[in-house]
Amino acid sequence: MEEQVFNRLVLAWIVLAIALMPIQLFVTAPYGRHISKRWGPVIGNRLGWFFMEIVSPTVLLAVLFRNGVPALGAVWICVALWLVHYMHRAFIFPLRTRTSGKHIPLVIVLSAVAFNTVNGWTNGFYLGSGWADYSGWLDDPRFIIGIAVFLAGAGINLWADSRLIALREHGETHYAIPRGGLFEKVSCPNHLGEIIEWCGFAIACWNLPALAFAAWTAANLVPRALSHHRWYQKEFPDYPADRKALVPYAL
C-alpha cells in the first residue's frame, strides 16, 4: 500500500471518530452499569473483555513483521507500551474485576473487536512500514515527553481501576460512591487516565495512526464519562455536587 493511500484511510478513520462522538453523547453503550437486555445476546463479562482486548496486540504484531523485524529501539518501546497495556486489559484486568455473574452484549464485544482490529492494524502497519525515520528518536523531546505522559496516564488509569475494584467485597455486586484522590474531583479518573495515556503515545510515536487512536479514545471515553457522571448523580442523592465528570473543574 502506498503511504498516501494509507494516510487518507487513517484520516477518514479520524473523521469517523469525530462524526460518531455526538451520537455517543446520547446513546450510552449498554455494558457495565448501563447493561440492557434490549441489545441482544450476551456473554460472560470476563470472557467478553478478553475477546475484545486480545485482538489489538495480536493484529499489531501480525502486521508489524510483514517487512521483517524492526531494528530501531524507539519502535520497540512504542510496541512494548501497546502490548503491556493490552495484555493487562485482556488477562489481568478481567481477573481482577469482581463482576462474577455479570454479562456484556455480544454486539458490544463484536464492535470492540472491529474497533481494536482497525487500530491494531493501522499502528502496527505504520510502525513496521519504515515510512517514518525513527533513528535518533530516543533523544527527541517528543519521544521523551510522550513516554512520560503515557506513563502518567497509565498510572492514573491503574490507580483508579484499583480503587473501583476495591469498592466491592468478594461476591458483592452493588455500586458505591468512589472517594479519594482524583475521585474527589471527577467521577471517572480511570477514563481520564486512559485518554492521557494514548495522547502520550501519540506524542511519542508522532504519527497519524497513533493520533487517530488518541482521537478515538477521547471520542469513546468522554461520552462514557458523562454517562457515568449522570448515573452517579441519579443513583446517589448525596453525590458530591462539585465533582465533575472527567476533567477537574472543567468537564
**pLDDT of 82-121, one tens digit each?**
999 999 999 999 888 876 678 888 999 999 999 999 999 9
Q: Is residue 39 part of a domain?
A: yes
> If you average pLDDT over every residue of the chain, what do you get?
92
pLDDT at 15 over 80: yes
Percent of the chain with pLDDT over 90: 75
Return phi, psi of residue 116, to 5°: -70, -30
Lowest mean pLDDT among 120-134, 145-159, 167-181: 167-181
What is the reported pLDDT for 222?
A: 97
Domains: count for the chain: 1
DSSP state of 104: E
- The whole domain housing 212 covers 3-235
Percent of the chain with pLDDT over 70: 95
Alpha-carbon distance of 144 to 138, in angstroms, equals 7
* pLDDT bucket at 219, cuts 50 / 70 / 90: very high
pTM of the model: 0.93
What is the reported pLDDT for 147?
A: 98
Q: Is residue 247 part of a domain?
A: no
* pLDDT bucket at 246, cuts 50 / 70 / 90: very high
Q: Is residue 70 part of a domain?
A: yes
Q: Is residue 248 part of a domain?
A: no
pLDDT top residue among 174 and 88: 88
Q: Is residue 191 part of a domain?
A: yes
Q: Is residue 212 part of a domain?
A: yes
* pLDDT bucket at 173, cuts 50 / 70 / 90: low
Q: Is residue 49 part of a domain?
A: yes
Give 70's contacts (C-beta < 8 A, 6+ positions apart): 64, 76, 79, 127, 128
DSSP state of 206: -
CA Rg value for the chain: 19
* pLDDT bucket at 175, cuts 50 / 70 / 90: confident
